[in-house]
């Protein structure tokens, strides 16, 4: 069964923050390239939804969160079988304190 990719509002906002940061601190070209790389990496999940490792810091949640790594970012997601989609819930900068990953989504 092929699933669709769904970006939550929270994850879209995190992408926007990443884009704006790199646009200001590096260049528009670098910002676009990084965000495109993050988005394209999620396309792997359509055919291999369980390719990501389980996110151990979120095991106490109802959903079984997994993640993919792109450069310094963890793409946090879970598989919503009922809605037939992969829900991207966060794009987390892994250079931060890991405990911050438990913030509300």
d(CA 19, CA 22): 5
pLDDT of residue 60: 92
**What are the tens digits of pLDDT across the range 34-61?**
999 999 999 999 999 999 999 999 999 9
Average pLDDT over residues 93-101: 80
Confidence of residue 20 (pLDDT cuts 50, 70, 90): very high
All structural domains of the chain: 4-96 (3.30.2310.20)
Q: What is the mean pLDDT of the chain?
A: 93
What predicted TM-score, i.e. pTM, was given to this entire model? 0.91
Number of separate helices (H) and strands (E) present in the chain? 2, 5
């Amino acid at each position: 069964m092929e699933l669709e990719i769904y970006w939550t509002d929270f994850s879209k906002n995190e992408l926007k923050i990443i884009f704006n940061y790199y646009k200001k601190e590096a260049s528009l070209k670098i910002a676009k390239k990084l965000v495109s790389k993050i988005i394209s990496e999620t396309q792997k999940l359509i055919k291999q939804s369980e390719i990501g490792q389980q996110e151990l810091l979120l095991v106490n949640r109802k959903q079984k969160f997994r993640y993919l790594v792109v450069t310094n970012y963890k793409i946090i997601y879970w598989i919503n079988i009922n809605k037939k989609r992969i829900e991207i819930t966060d794009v987390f900068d892994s250079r931060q304190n890991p405990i911050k990953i438990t913030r509300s989504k």
